[in-house]
């Protein structure tokens, strides 16, 4: 595998933790690098390898700030979110460049992510101010019964690298607007974006202790972020494996919200527009280099149109330009880290060994412009059987498994025969089939004639089965629910 040969020509910046309103070095005296996956000789920054002492300090600061912040008028909390949003917008160009350098996605996708993160802060600044309880009619004319919503307390926010700014924004904004205080640990692959979001809030005047940032490895700080007695809630996005671990460790008094893996199917019916179907498969499966939790990883196509569909899928895939996210026209960037590259190549081998047919791509790219990055060709497998591992397990890379079905009913059985249920889509011109699909499919996000990827910030987002804890949705107005607890109040007068 590739080795990092560091040629330091310019000074590499060192970034600190943010605890109780101050940028601080870790108690561990250790640091780690964030590396550009398109060019592993490019070190994006040096970050604090935090230890439990840092996490303890951050949780204590958040605990002490809670009383003050939960009593801060909602309009003031909203003003801080709006100001932080402006900071992100003003710095959108440079933050997008850093995002591409740190994560690898194309610069246009990175710009969209920065802007969307700002919009998310603004969305919750408004929604959070009118998020209330209910009143309940009752038979006593001299009694009012209502629910009140209260913040939970200190919330741990633990996030992955694939949307390093927008996922933290959609967790931190609803947490803060409802009066909670936060300890935030971004992915160690993309800590700079975590720093930038916290900088935005700091610049906006957030009081000391309300938002705290600790960077570092899950093996060092993950447990305490979940099990510390002051932690009232953990909102986590990442792998199902880590999510299950966190869910098991959390105390009964700690609420958890887990957004986890997916194995998202796109069903292609015989009446489908096949050009549309191939475009949706390519965009859903290969955009962001297949590293979207809602990415299309299975296409289940009716037998009678399979040959034609696969031909169109290959033709469209051939046109995708692979390369550095700063280059014009690039559609597929590098994988985000070496582990990702190894994992994708491992699954390509597993697919072949299990008897699926690799009909396109799947080769690592190691020459010329590709030699310093984690690049792989997008891969298309046909003859995939439902029991094959590439049909069952999350790969989280640019690999599409094409499965055949004789009927819609069989396609649904195959689609539901996995332990995940995040997102699913069908391509059809039949209104009847479309409606039937929304009932039959086991997924938290269901689409018709659209990609499995993408979700609105004002609509609920989350999965079924092992894709989520299936308790509290993220995004939209319901995204606020997780961060508040209900009190039912009976007032006789
Ligand atoms: P990951 O689970 O390895 O790590 C996610 C975060 O959790 C990181 O900050 C990591 O340091 C931390 N972490 C890992 N194990 C932990 C533990 N035991 N205790 C506490 N913290 C722990 O995931 P990743 O590789 O960063 O991201 C890819 C995964 O994220 C994929 O499985 C993808 O499907 C999933 N994902 C899901 C969604 C969604 O909304 N459902 C969105 C994006 C990504």
Distance of CA 64 to the CA centre of its chain: 30
Distance, in Å, from the CA atom of 349 to the CA atom of 356, rounded to the nearest integer, reads: 10
CB 441 within 8 A of CB 423: no
Q: Are 268 and 301 in contact (CB under 8 A)?
A: yes
Q: What is the whole-number distance in angstroms between the Cα of residue 301 and the centre of ligand 1?
A: 31
Domain annotation covers residue 9? no
Same domain, 48 and 109: yes
Is residue 361 within 8 Å of 316, Cβ to Cβ? no
**355 and 394 fall within a common domain:** yes
Residues 230 and 351 in one domain: no
Contact 77, 128 (CB under 8 A): yes
- What local confidence, expressed as pLDDT, does residue 454 receive? 96
Give SS3 for 14. strand
pLDDT of residue 11: 85
* Beta-bridge partner residues of 31: 48
Residues 187 and 199 in one domain: yes
User: Same domain for 334 and 245?
Assistant: no
Q: How far is CA 123 from the centre of its chain?
A: 18
Contact 66, 153 (CB under 8 A): yes
In this structure, the answer to whether residues 249 and 302 fall within a common structural domain is no
**Beta partners for 20?**
none
Q: What's the confidence (pLDDT) of residue 471?
A: 84
Same domain membership, residue 155 and residue 75: yes
pLDDT tens figures, 239-264: 999 999 999 999 999 999 999 999 99
Question: Is 259 annotated in the active site?
Answer: yes
Question: How large is the C-alpha radius of gyration of the chain?
Answer: 23
Regions in the chain scoring below 50 on pLDDT: none
> Could you tell me if 187 and 169 are in contact, meaning their C-beta atoms sit under 8 angstroms apart?
no
Confirm if 2 and 37 have CB atoms less than 8 A apart: no
Q: Which residues of 200-235 are buried (b: 16+ CB within 10 A; e: fewer)?
A: bbbbbebebbbbbbbbbebebbbebbbebebbbbbb
For ligand 1, the distance from its centroid to the CA atom of residue 483, given in whole angstroms, is 20
User: Considering the domain boundaries, does residue 5 fall inside one?
Assistant: no
Q: Which of 199, 259, 404, 474 is catalytic?
A: 259
Task: Give the domain CATH number at 174.
Answer: 3.40.605.10
Question: Distance between CA atoms of 391 and 402, rounded to whole angstroms?
Answer: 9
Place of tokens 């994988």: 335
184 and 237 belong to one structural domain:
yes
The rounded Å distance from CA 184 to ligand 1 centre is 14
- With 0-12 CB in 10 A as exposed, 13-18 as middle and 19+ as buried, what is 29? exposed
Q: Is 375 left (phi over 0), alpha (psi -120 to 50) or beta?
A: beta
Would residue 403 count as lying in a domain? yes
Whether residue 293 lies in the annotated active site: yes
The residue annotated as part of the active site, out of 103, 127, 199, 293, is 293
43 and 167 part of one domain = yes
The domain in which residue 185 lies consists of 17-260+468-492
Q: What is the pLDDT, as a whole number, of residue 9?
A: 55
Shared-domain flag, residues 239 and 373: no
Question: 154 and 59 in contact (C-beta within 8 Å)?
Answer: yes
Q: Which of 45, 42, 335 is nearest to 193 (CA)?
A: 45
- Domain-embedded: residue 398: yes
194 within some domain: yes
For residue 129, count other CB atoms closer than 10 A to its CB.
14
State whether the beta carbon of 446 lies less than 6 angstroms from ligand 1. no
Residues 43 and 148 in one domain: yes
Q: Where are the beta strands (DSSP E) in 344-422?
A: 357-360, 364-365, 375-376, 379-382, 399-405, 420-421
Work out which ligand 1 atom sits closest to the CA atom of 468. Answer: 41
Closest ligand 1 atom to Cα of 160:
26
pLDDT value for 8: 52
Q: How many domains does the chain divide into?
A: 2
Beta strands 464-465 and 420-421, pairing class: antiparallel
* Domain assignment of residue 314, yes or no: yes
- Taking alpha carbons only, the member of 15, 395, 36, 341 closest to residue 189 is 36
> Rounded CA gap, 337 and 103, in Å?
8
* Residues paired with 45 in a beta bridge: 34
Shared domain for 284 and 250, answered yes or no, is no
Ligand 1, residue 222: give the atom nearest the CA. Answer: 20
Count of Cβ atoms closer than 10 Å to residue 409 Cβ: 11
> Cβ(158) to ligand 1 under 6 A?
yes
Q: Is the CB of 160 under 6 A from ligand 1?
A: yes
> What's the CATH number where 348 sits?
3.40.309.10
pLDDT in tens, 47-87: 999 999 999 999 999 999 999 999 999 999 999 999 999 99
Helix (H/G/I), strand (E/B), else coil: 93: helix
Please report whether residue 249 resides in a domain: yes
Residue 438 lies in a domain: yes
Measured in Å, residue 296 CA sits from the centre of ligand 1 at 18
């Amino acid at each position: 595998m590739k080795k990092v040969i560091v040629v330091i020509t310019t000074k590499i910046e060192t970034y600190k933790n943010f605890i109780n309103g101050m940028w601080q070095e870790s108690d561990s005296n250790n640091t780690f690098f964030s590396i550009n996956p398109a060019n592993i000789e490019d070190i994006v920054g040096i970050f604090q390898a935090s230890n439990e002492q840092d996490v303890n300090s951050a949780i204590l600061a958040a605990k002490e700030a809670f009383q003050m912040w939960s009593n801060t008028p909602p309009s003031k909390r909203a003003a801080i979110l709006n100001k932080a949003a402006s900071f992100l917008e003003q710095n959108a160009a440079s933050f997008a460049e850093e995002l591409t350098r740190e994560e690898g996605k194309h610069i246009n996708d990175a710009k969209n992510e920065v802007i969307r993160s700002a919009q998310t802060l603004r969305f919750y600044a408004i929604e959070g101010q009118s998020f209330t309880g209910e009143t309940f009619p009752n038979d006593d004319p001299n009694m009012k019964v209502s629910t009140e919503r209260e913040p939970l307390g200190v919330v741990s926010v633990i996030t992955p690298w694939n949307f390093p700014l927008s996922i933290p924004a959609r967790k931190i904004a609803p947490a803060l607007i409802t009066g909670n205080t936060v300890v935030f640990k971004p992915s160690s692959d993309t800590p700079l974006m975590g720093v930038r979001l916290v900088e935005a809030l700091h610049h906006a005047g957030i009081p000391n202790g309300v938002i705290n940032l600790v960077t570092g490895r899950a093996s060092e700080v993950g447990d305490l972020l979940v099990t510390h007695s002051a932690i009232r809630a953990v909102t986590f996005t990442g792998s199902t494996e880590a999510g299950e671990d966190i869910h098991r460790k959390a105390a009964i008094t700690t609420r958890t919200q887990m957004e986890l893996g997916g194995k998202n199917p796109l069903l292609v019916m015989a009446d489908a527009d096949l050009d549309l179907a191939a475009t949706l498969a390519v965009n859903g499966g290969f955009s962001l280099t297949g590293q979207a939790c809602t990415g299309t990883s299975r296409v289940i196509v009716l037998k009678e149109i399979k040959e034609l569909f696969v031909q169109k899928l290959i033709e469209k895939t051939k046109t995708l330009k692979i390369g550095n996210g700063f280059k014009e026209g690039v559609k597929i960037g590098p994988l985000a880290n070496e582990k990702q590259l190894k994992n994708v190549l491992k699954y390509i081998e597993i697919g072949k060994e299990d008897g699926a047919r690799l009909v396109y791509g799947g080769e690592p790219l190691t020459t010329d412009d590709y030699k310093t990055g984690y690049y792989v060709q997008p891969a298309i497998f046909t003859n995939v059987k439902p029991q094959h591992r590439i049909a069952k397990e999350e790969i989280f890379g640019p690999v599409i498994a094409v499965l055949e079905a004789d009927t819609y009913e069989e396609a649904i059985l195959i689609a539901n025969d996995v332990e995940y249920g995040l997102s699913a889509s069908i391509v059809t011109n039949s209104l009847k089939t479309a409606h039937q699909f929304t009932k039959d499919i086991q997924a938290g996000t269901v689409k018709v004639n659209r990609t499995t990827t993408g979700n609105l910030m004002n609509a609920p987002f989350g999965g079924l089965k092992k894709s989520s804890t299936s308790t509290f949705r993220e995004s939209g107005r319901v995204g606020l629910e997780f961060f508040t607890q209900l009190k039912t109040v009976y007032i006789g007068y």
